[in-house]
Amino acid sequence: MSATAHRAIFDKVSLHQDIATVLIDEVTIRKRVRELGDIINREYARKDLLLVSVLKGSIVFMADLIRAITIPHEIDFMATSSYGAGVSSSGVVRILKDLNTSIEGRNVVIVEDIIDSGNTLSYLARIMQERRPASLRIMTLLDKPERREVDIHVDWVGFSIPNEFVVGYGLDYDEVYRNLPFIGVLKPSVYGASD
């Protein structure tokens, strides 16, 4: 049995009990994702397009976004790590998995779940620009502007949110809660603070 199988969280019957409030519900997310898909449809009609999802948090957004996009496009994935098991960004970005495809001469949109300090995207945008794409733009579902440490231009934001610890719709705490279908605020007691 793996070490994670012993974690107390797996004793829980429902993850919902750890949620203080629902910040963005399923219906609101669905509507906004459709709008973001329409933006891509308009901006990239009759153009080459590669969407790059930054694992793992963006997978749920990416899966819904590509189904809201009706024009032809390709997808690829990168994996980075910044948070570990903590709740704040370390400022250190590691590439765990690089793209499978060359982006030279291509129109690339990076798809993120959340921009917090900005360290991850600042680093990714820099190394991707060095690969000479025809264009490089950034779409994020969530933005926490209060937490920004580095200046970064974000082209499209789904929701600008306050500085709360959010989980669900792909976002995790300690690798759990990604499957919640809404964006919820985690009870502080879950990560060792008082509620």
Q: What is the dihedral of CA 17, 79, 52, 32, to 10 degrees?
A: 10
Name the residue nearer to ligand PRP (CB basis): 32 or 165: 165
**Distance, CA of 68 to CA of 32 (rounded, Å):** 10
Q: What is the dihedral of CA 195, 19, 114, 26, to 10 degrees?
A: -150
Contacts with ligand PRP, 89-128, as mask; x by CB under 6 A: x----------------------xxxxxxxxx--------
Q: Where are the alpha helices (DSSP H) in 93-188?
A: 119-129
**Of the candidates 116, 111, 77, 72, which has an alpha carbon nearest to the alpha carbon of residue 96?**
77
Determine whether 20 is exposed, middle or buried from the number of CB atoms within 10 Å of its CB (0-12, 13-18, 19+): middle
158 binds ligand PRP (CB under 6 A): no
Query: Residues 28, 41, 81, 135: which binds ligand PRP (CB under 6 A)?
Result: 81
Number of residues lying near ligand PRP (CB under 6 A): 19
**Distance, CA of 68 to CA of 49 (rounded, Å):** 15
53 binds ligand PRP (CB under 6 A): no
Residues with catalytic function: 116
Min. distance of Cβ 172 from ligand PRP in angstroms?
Answer: 5
Name the residue nearer to ligand PRP (CB basis): 50 or 115: 115
Q: State how beta strands 50-55 and 74-81 pair.
A: parallel
In one-letter notation, the amino acid at residue 176 is: V
Min. distance of Cβ 178 from ligand PRP in angstroms?
Answer: 8
Name the residue nearer to ligand PRP (CB basis): 64 or 113: 113
Mark the segment that binds ligand PRP (CB under 6 A) among 33-41, 50-58, 63-71, 187-195: 50-58
Residues in 171-190 that interact with ligand PRP by CB under 6 A: 172
Name the residue nearer to ligand PRP (CB basis): 80 or 107: 80
Contact set with ligand PRP (CB under 6 A): 54-57, 80-83, 89, 112-120, 172
